[in-house]
Amino acid sequence: MRLAYGEGVVIAILAPIIVFLLGIGKITALQTLFLIFLLFGVWTLIAAFTLVGQKDRIYYFSWGLILASISSAFITHIEYAIALILLAIVVSLLVNVATRKSTPKTSNVQQLGQGRTNSNSL
């Protein structure tokens, strides 16, 4: 049995809500939000390396990292949470730049020269 990404997201969101509503572990509403974002982010990170294709891997990795970082806003001071979220964004950008395929681009002069025909060769 293999979970799809959407099914895992539903589980990541509903499981903490069920635990909160049933009073298991006596978790608070803030702790429930923390668990939702954390599980959602971790599931997205797992999906980045197991469920999605290589083309979408960086996208899922970045969002998983950001979602897991957002969860810290519910358990730490807001300044630390914002710093952690910004750090996750910077890391995501660096990973994106490091894994981007570089393609040589033609300059405008080369593009103009390719479209020109030689009018003297009649």
C-alpha 119/C-alpha 24 separation (Å) is 83
pLDDT averaged over the chain?
Answer: 85
pTM of the model: 0.72
Q: What is the pLDDT of residues 52-111, one digit of tens each?
A: 888 899 999 999 999 999 998 888 888 988 999 999 999 988 988 888 776 666 555 555
pLDDT at 100: 79
| Domain assignment of residue 27, given as a range | 5-101
- Tell whether 92 is covered by a domain: yes
Q: Are 9 and 43 in contact (CB under 8 A)?
A: yes
Number of domains in the chain: 1
Q: How far is CA 19 from the centre of its chain?
A: 26
Q: Is the pLDDT of residue 112 over 80?
A: no
Q: How far is CA 22 from the centre of its chain?
A: 31
Residue 9: is its pLDDT beyond 90?
yes
Q: Classify residue 87: in a domain, yes or no.
A: yes
Confirm whether 54 is domain-assigned: yes
pLDDT at 104: 60
Instruction: Say what the pLDDT of residue 21 is.
Output: 95
Is residue 107, in this structure, part of any structural domain at all?
A: no
Task: Decide if 23 is inside a domain.
Answer: yes
Q: Is 71 exposed, middle or buried (0-12, 13-18, 19+ CB in 10 A)?
A: buried
Q: Is residue 111 a part of any domain in this protein?
A: no
User: Does 45 map to a domain?
Assistant: yes
- Of 12-21, 31-40, 74-83, the range with the lowest mean pLDDT is 74-83
Tell me, yes or no, whether 120 lies in a domain. no
C-alpha angle 102/67/84, rounded to 5°?
85
Q: Averaged over 21-49, what is the pLDDT?
A: 92
Instruction: Report yes or no: 101 and 68 within 8 Å, Cβ to Cβ.
Output: no
